[in-house]
Amino acid sequence: MAELDSIDRAILKALQENGRMTNAELAEKVGLSASACSRRHDMLEKSGVISGYHARLAHDAIDYKMMVIVHISLSGQFAKTLTEFEAAVKRCPNVLVCYLMSGEYDYILRVAAKDLSDYERIHRDWLSALPHVVKINSSFALREIIDRPNVGL
């Protein structure tokens, strides 16, 4: 896709604030006709700039009161090792985020748990069973300060 112009950025900013607004509302907010807005919106989706829509849940409201940052070291960084680990970690329902890292650890995960015994279960049944893992280091978040879902445009 070509570089984003100011109208594309306005559309993205508006959708980040309220992904449920109608096309008519979006068009009015960014100063376009409904048809022109719809075409741009479609292009942003087709090009992959907009990767999806979702409901943002309050984890503690659905009884996931514990966030754990998990550092993982693997036995090596061979392509097969990374591919097998990544395929397996994607199947763990409590892993919210997984990053391949540079530096001391190979991966950093953000894991949601209901409580300490739930995390113990996740650690035992999922994390320890991941292929090629040689070290797991868990840090427990005491309080969330910011979890920004939107990028500044």
pLDDT at 30 over 60: yes
- Rounded distance between C-alpha atoms, residue 13 and residue 150, angstroms: 8
Is the alpha carbon torsion for 47, 50, 52, 53 positive or negative? negative
pLDDT at 78: 95
* Fold classified for 59-141: Alpha-Beta Plaits (3.30.70)
* Fold classified for 6-47: Arc Repressor Mutant, subunit A (1.10.10)
Question: For residue 17, how many other CB atoms are within 10 A of its CB?
Answer: 10
pLDDT tens profile 105-135: 999 999 999 999 999 999 999 999 999 999 9
pTM over 0.75: yes
Helices 23-30/6-17 angle, 10° precision: 130
Whether residue 25 contacts residue 37, with contact meaning beta carbons closer than 8 Å, is answered with: no
Within this chain, domains 6-47 and 59-141 share the same CATH topology: no
pLDDT at 20 over 70: yes
What six digits make up the tokens of 128? Answer: 């320890």
What six digits make up the tokens of 74? Answer: 């693997």
pLDDT at 152 over 70: yes
Residue 11 main-chain phi, psi, to 5 deg: -60, -45
pLDDT tens profile 35-80: 999 999 999 999 999 999 888 888 889 999 999 999 999 999 999 9
Whether residue 71 contacts residue 107, with contact meaning beta carbons closer than 8 Å, is answered with: yes
pLDDT at 1 over 60: no
How many H-runs (helices) and E-runs (strands) does the chain carry?
A: 5, 4
DSSP assignment of 95-108 equals: EEEEEE-SSS-SEE
Whether residue 134 contacts residue 147, with contact meaning beta carbons closer than 8 Å, is answered with: no
pLDDT at 2: 64
Q: What are the extents of the domains in the chain?
A: 6-47, 59-141
pLDDT at 56: 86
